[in-house]
Structure 1
């Protein structure tokens, strides 16, 4: 009986569908990944190019049928490093990179609302390290730590961390959310901290979709004619390719297992009263 339970519960939970349990013991399915991939397949052009970290490349290609810049093959370390550099840069510098790569949408995974530890903020230092390996003059890992050498997202975080693309795409509008009266607005349940940069605006991207539990966030990259900006010239030479694997981390876990949020597939604020 125990073997059957272990097989059913521990070994039969795919990474694309998360399962948790409510206070009464009933099983709750968090289907944000498939929800987001379905949105991509139905609401973007068939030739749209998606920038995300490599972990989700095969899922996006298989379930959304969209082109990704990097995927789980991880053989092109230079391309992975370029994506890591974009995520690690400020929004303006990241836009230059995304323009050269013909990026239409950016997808990030965010677990701060429900306490999911396998999100992109927790993987972010791998992106920084890989980017620094290829672009040491532009990206330095030490710039993303506090003066005490800590990796934080609250008000003590470094200026570089608070203004990088990954931080902004993960926490956009999150500072407006107050989950309950005991938590301050913008409280990240995964990092157990109130975020240090709130109420910021995006210039070069706009929010296109946020899944029911905020696990998947998708942003559209604006075109040059949507704002005043000098044209970014494309490079003529191809990015060098190296066969070098770049692994980032382990499968995430849910720290808060009793969260059930009702909602729709459109981008909309979460009702704080629905989260315990």
Structure 2
């Protein structure tokens, strides 16, 4: 009887608004999962490139045990030298993948490891949608949470990075990031140590999964420093930042690919100095004289900030290097050619922001205005969250995925503030019946606005999500299956001897190494910049020069790729598309890395295509004729280029074409060295 009364009481507490909110949230989560699972219907493969190396890592763990990963030396990567995997790879994704696979097996779901890893991002995306609702609810209200969840569900970057098959660092690391932010806010609000510990552990997990862990770590630190500067320091703030930073930095020190040298470096200067500031504020809080306490606090803050700047820029914490240096100082990008030539590390443009977020780019600044005007602690956090996310994405387009939640929350704050103001004004001037009629009109307007805001992006999101994975589209990203790469990888697996080393540009290293099971001289980790530069020099010089480099690396086969546009000519001509980046387009990146001039290799030629004259970039520079890469790429079409365009590209002497895919997109050459005894 008591249980029945208790259940009735609980049910009575759930009002219509709650039911609507929960129904909408469930609908958004389901919609998010449906969008992300669409690529599965084209075929079960992993997407892009990086997920394949995480698959290989998870497979190694399942075959050899978790502890074996920490001593794994892989001779098939960066051949002939090999690579020490723990020192350059995140352990989070392969460990998470292996545990997830074992969990599924334990509960009776018997699927392959690849199937398990392919479905994981879909589940992760659904969970992330829910977590973003919680984050919006914590920072603003539950309606803001719903809006933020919907934006994340249809965000193009989020769709890609948490879509079916995309088992990469974001699918795992974002879980840790959002949990860390949510519990950091809860720790400050609820004043409980367990929340701070959960926040720290979540950020530690992100540290093991994704290099973007520095974003939330420094977000917390800068928020703490700002709170101290504006006089809103509290003991709970000190306790929370200390716990979160300590756990995270400890995880950094233990992670094989990060280590103590990065844990105590300019990358962590902000949390270290935030801790010192909080420590000083804790001591000054015991000074009874308010004026003296204020003077000591202000003086200490200024002193610590000056010391922090001196320590960081004097190099006492070590050099600021790599991606972190480009992040804080984008002007040095040109000094890091490998970073500046990787697509996902390009800076995001205003056009990219607008095409992804549409009206949010207008609403978010309004939300920032209202947040700064109110300026409570959560409002300050929201603005700082958004500013850091936008700044990060402006330097690295891959970080756009962390922009969506912050812009959505700011936009929701703007809508909430505007509508609240409208309601207040109407209630002051209208009678009860008039207010009800007015509210009905306003709700109708809100519904129309939401549909207008969401309909077009939702349609675009569905179209974007409904595509095959990159391997099935042969690296074009098109919504059609092209089997050139799959066929080529299968041929390599079945016909190239196991101990042979394959030469290629680094973009295809993971596919060839994992799918074709062949040793490669470079891969997508881009850890050996010296070897990448040598490969660029080999491809951009003549055969004899290239043979010396490939011979030193013991290369026996070379793979090149170009998604040609075939023209109806006789002899056959195929044009490099430029809209889809193959090795001809990537040769400009090779030139940047090798320090060569583009004008020596590529120039435009006016071509009449379908009655329209277009200036098409082609290999007609003074060095193009004897460039190995162009000899290999254009070999099947050299007669057409010579007879119809007057472009003469030499036939390779020592590189024998042993395989071409159906559309000639992937070409595989065997090297016939002139002095086989020494090879």
Asked whether the 8 Å contact 1:41–1:66 carries over to 2, the reply is yes
- Say if 2:583 is the partner of 1:120: yes
The alignment partner of 1:224 has SS state of coil
How many Å apart are 1:216 and its aligned residue?
0.5
The whole-number CA distance in structure 2 between the counterparts of 1:65 and 1:36 is 12
The whole-number CA distance in structure 1 between the counterparts of 2:500 and 2:651 is 24
How many Å apart are 1:4 and its aligned residue?
7.3
Offset from partner CA, 1:20-48 (integer Å, 9 cap, x none): xxxxxxx7521100100000011110011
Aligned to 1:44: 496
Aligned to 1:15: 470
The alignment partner of 2:502 has SS state of strand
The whole-number CA distance in structure 2 between the counterparts of 1:92 and 1:151 is 29
How many Å apart are 1:162 and its aligned residue?
2.2
How many Å apart are 1:68 and its aligned residue?
0.6
The whole-number CA distance in structure 2 between the counterparts of 1:91 and 1:173 is 18
Asked whether the 8 Å contact 1:17–1:30 carries over to 2, the reply is yes
Change over 3 Å in CA distance of 1:195–1:51 after alignment to 2: farther
Structure 1 residues not aligned, in runs of 5+: 20-26, 133-138, 177-184, 188-192, 233-276
Q: 2:647 aligns with which of 196, 199, 202?
A: 196
How many Å apart are 1:140 and its aligned residue?
4.5
The whole-number CA distance in structure 2 between the counterparts of 1:143 and 1:225 is 31
The alignment partner of 2:558 has SS state of strand
Aligned to 2:525: 73
Change over 3 Å in CA distance of 1:147–1:18 after alignment to 2: closer
Given the two structures, how large is their TM-score scaled by the length of structure 2?
0.27
Asked whether the 8 Å contact 1:113–1:214 carries over to 2, the reply is no
Aligned to 1:102: 554
Change over 3 Å in CA distance of 1:51–1:195 after alignment to 2: farther
Structure 2 residues not aligned, in runs of 5+: 1-454, 567-575, 606-614
Asked whether the 8 Å contact 2:599–2:621 carries over to 1, the reply is no
Asked whether the 8 Å contact 1:51–1:68 carries over to 2, the reply is yes
Q: Which has the larger share of helix?
A: 2
Q: 1:55 aligns with which of 507, 510, 526?
A: 507
Structure with larger RCO (C-alpha < 8 A, sep 6+)? 1
Given the two structures, how large is their TM-score scaled by the length of structure 1?
0.63
Change over 3 Å in CA distance of 1:195–1:215 after alignment to 2: farther
More off after superposition, 108-117 vs 159-168: 108-117
Change over 3 Å in CA distance of 1:65–1:158 after alignment to 2: same
Offset from partner CA, 1:188-216 (integer Å, 9 cap, x none): xxxxx947125x42211110111001110
Structure 2 matches for 1:164-179, cutoff 5 A?
A: 164-176=627-639
The whole-number CA distance in structure 1 between the counterparts of 2:544 and 2:553 is 15
Aligned to 2:237: none
Offset from partner CA, 1:89-122 (integer Å, 9 cap, x none): 1111111111111001111112234465221101
Asked whether the 8 Å contact 2:604–2:616 carries over to 1, the reply is no
RMSD between superposed Cα atoms in Å: 3.1
Asked whether the 8 Å contact 2:471–2:485 carries over to 1, the reply is yes
Offset from partner CA, 1:242-267 (integer Å, 9 cap, x none): xxxxxxxxxxxxxxxxxxxxxxxxxx
Aligned to 1:245: none
The whole-number CA distance in structure 1 between the counterparts of 2:529 and 2:542 is 22
The whole-number CA distance in structure 2 between the counterparts of 1:195 and 1:51 is 30
Q: 2:600 aligns with which of 143, 153, 177?
A: 143
Structure 2 matches for 1:202-213, cutoff 5 A?
A: 202-213=652-663
Aligned length: 199
The alignment partner of 1:162 has SS state of helix
The whole-number CA distance in structure 1 between the counterparts of 2:553 and 2:462 is 43
Offset from partner CA, 1:126-156 (integer Å, 9 cap, x none): 1111122xxxxxx4545325599x99425xx
Aligned to 1:224: 674
Aligned to 1:179: none
Asked whether the 8 Å contact 1:16–1:34 carries over to 2, the reply is yes
How many Å apart are 1:61 and its aligned residue?
0.7
Asked whether the 8 Å contact 1:146–1:152 carries over to 2, the reply is yes
Q: Which has the larger share of strand?
A: 1
Asked whether the 8 Å contact 2:507–2:524 carries over to 1, the reply is yes
How many Å apart are 1:11 and its aligned residue?
5.6
Aligned to 2:592: 129
